[in-house]
A and B are shown apart, each in its own frame.
Chain A
Amino acid sequence: MLLYLIRRILYAIPIALAVGLVCFMLVQIAPGDPINAIVPADAPQEVVEQVRRDYGLDKPLPVQFGIWLSRVVQGDLGRSLATGRPVTADLVSAIGNTLMLALAAAGIGFVMGSILGTIAAVFRGSWLDKLAVGFAAAGVSIPHYWLGMVMVVLFSVTLNWLPAMGAGPGGSGSWAWDWEHIKYLVLPAVTLSVIPMGIITRTVRGVVMELLNQDFVTTLRGKGLRRGGIALHVVKNAAPSVLAVMGLQLGYLMGGSILVETVFSWPGTGFLLNSAIFQRDLPVLQGTILVLAIFFVALNLAVDLIQTALDPRIRRA
């Protein structure tokens, strides 16, 4: 088990390196010269060259990658071209905000999805099943920026129950876990939770339905176990596949929905990416994509390890 753990972690390292390379290259391949974003359009050629040297953009690509990588592993993602602030600091606060939003949305989506999916599977073919499946299909199909706007119109503008934008009364800097702050989280979190809820509903429904048809469930009934006892077996059998989907969904949520964060002016990674793209702010773009990708890799690793702990058949050391 320990050996497996170490091996899986070692596997993750080349993946992370490859992700870093792709991040670096993507920005190089993108059309347009980042220098143009820094210097005024009418700057003399010497100034342009000077700036190019300052940022190390005159060196060959492999060298640039090496320098960038060695800084990255020390936690230095460079300075934002647009604001001059260190990327790492901005990124940390953005990730904190997105993490909060993602976890809230995942919490709502996963719990609701698991409940709806289980109900649908147990009462398959009944109107409850059809309702849950319809709900799931709607959740996956409705564009969430549109849903966000509808929610703002309904709950902020018409009913005036919840704030429409921002991450707290005092801006994003002073978050606290009280209702004054949490109410800012409600609308974006619910909006974001709809897609994972739909996907988890469908996954759980499929997995549980298949499990309930397995012979071993008949054995469990034959042993005299009641619903609760059987449910325990079904949950442990269903967990690996459901967790895999949940891990992926949490990864997508961590990417921060550019659209939802923009609709609600939520200062997370999506918001940060959005402004970095518009301002051609290369270091911010690279740093954000890299950290999110690494996060995705780490999340998949975590899911793999949990799956292994739950399902003895995967354990091959």
Chain B
Amino acid sequence: MSESLVHVRDLNVRFVTRDATVNAVNGVSFDLAERESLCILGESGSGKSVTLRALMALNPPRRTKLSGTVRVGGHDIITASERRMADIRGSTVSMIFQEPMTALDPVFTIGRQIAETVMRHEGLSRAEADKRALELLELVQIPSAKRRLAAYPHELSGGLRQRAMIAIALSCRPKLLLADEPTTALDATVQIQILLLLRRLQQEMGMGVIFVTHDLGVAGEIADRVAVMYAGKFIEEGPVRDLMRGPLHPYAQGLLGATVHAGMRGERLTTIPGAPPNLERVPQGCAFAPRCPYVEEACLPKVPDFRSPVPGHAARCVRVPQAA
């Protein structure tokens, strides 16, 4: 059996400073097949971005302690040296970020920022790299691409900047694309354009994609599978359709209840009372228990295991029935 594109087992990420240790990710495991798209849903501080960055060892190097197994495209990320990681980043796996204004270097042209990535990984000459940069801008549908090569990030609109960011990420045809809330900073009309572009590019280039977002609409638009994250753990995972229609975990139900979707005119949105736990100390039992309306004795002594009522859909909740 060939190994999946991404293979993560019991990933733990801790940020250690002199004042405190924050347990940002606590035992995350998942696999991603080639050409598959996974969406990690969660609120701020749930550890979703940290998980994503751990896949290419991009968290701040000196403060971050990683443990577990992370394999991407056959490379062992946890043990790889920084030098080795530099070869993997941008070629096997690359990332697009939430805020394209700050994620692009303000004093280098768009063309140069694309070309340098290609030159770094594929050893092309400057002229060849410039040519590839132009092709890439056309690939991400930037109008007047030739002129935009010489533009600086501040001269482009938010949508065009994000397209340029995507062009950089795709410049060396990665097998895995990581997207950290790629549409959060954009206008609603631009968001859908970017999502459609990403979905088309994923299909054309045959990439695996992992999306991080707190926007359920985005998840529904692009993902094959969805994982819901809370307090540094996956608490529910399943096909996007099943999870949207019938969330199992009370937290996932709460998230959906707090979101506007079609056919609910006149109904009130519900909220989840309370706030996520402080990750300086990981709770012993289910991390959601203090906020959960259905909490019972069994939730507290240990973290509930995944229970799966139907194949492929599972949640960490004691109330979920386990299929035989």
Contacts and interface: CB of A to CB of B under 8 A. Distances in A.
A, B: real partners: yes
Interface of A: 214-216, 218-226, 229, 233, 236-237, 310-313
A225 B117 CA distance: 7
Nearest to A211: B105
Contact of B94 (A215, A222, A226, A229): A222
Contacts of A313: 106-107, 152, 154
A312 B97 contact: no
B272 interface: no
Nearest to A310: B107
B286 interface: no
Interface in B73-105: 83, 86-91, 94-95, 97, 99, 102-105
A167 B188 CA distance: 70
B30 interface: no
Q: Which 9 A-B pairs have the closest CB atoms?
A: A224-B90, A224-B89, A215-B102, A223-B90, A312-B152, A223-B117, A216-B105, A215-B103, A219-B103
A311 B97 contact: no
Contacts of A219: 95, 97, 103-105, 165, 168
A216 B88 CA distance: 18
A62 B319 CA distance: 95
Given A219-B168, A223-B116, 10 more contacts: A214-B102, A215-B97, A216-B103, A216-B106, A222-B94, A222-B95, A223-B94, A224-B121, A233-B107, A237-B106
Contact of A218 (B103, B106, B154, B168): B103
Contacts of A229: 116, 120
Contacts of B97: 215, 218-219
Contacts of A214: 102
Which one of B88, B103, B121 has the highest number of Cβ atoms from chain A below 10 Å of its Cβ? B103
B179 to A, nearest CB: 12
B155 to A, nearest CB: 8
Contacts of B104: 216, 219
Given A215-B99, A229-B116, A313-B152, A222 B89 contact: yes
Contact of A225 (B120, B154, B165): B120
A224 B117 contact: yes
A233 B153 CA distance: 14
B112 to A, nearest CB: 10
A124 to B, nearest CB: 10
A220 B83 contact: no
B102 A216 contact: yes
Given A215-B103, A216-B102, A221 B108 contact: no
Contact of A222 (B90, B99, B107, B121): B90
A220 B102 CA distance: 12
B167 to A, nearest CB: 12
Contacts of B90: 222-225
Nearest to B88: A224
A223 B120 contact: yes
Nearest to B101: A215
A204 to B, nearest CB: 17
A220 B58 contact: no
B207 interface: no
A216 B99 CA distance: 10
A312 B107 contact: yes
Contacts of B83: 226
B58 A236 contact: no
Nearest to B102: A215
A306 to B, nearest CB: 13
B108 A226 contact: no
A222 B106 CA distance: 17
A220 B105 contact: yes
Contacts of B91: 224
B56 interface: yes
B147 to A, nearest CB: 15
Interface in B90-143: 90-91, 94-95, 97, 99, 102-108, 116-117, 120-121
A92 B56 CA distance: 61
Nearest to B105: A216
Contacts of A310: 107
B154 to A, nearest CB: 6
B51 to A, nearest CB: 15
B105 A237 contact: yes
Contacts of A236: 107-108
Contacts of B155: 312
A214 B103 CA distance: 8
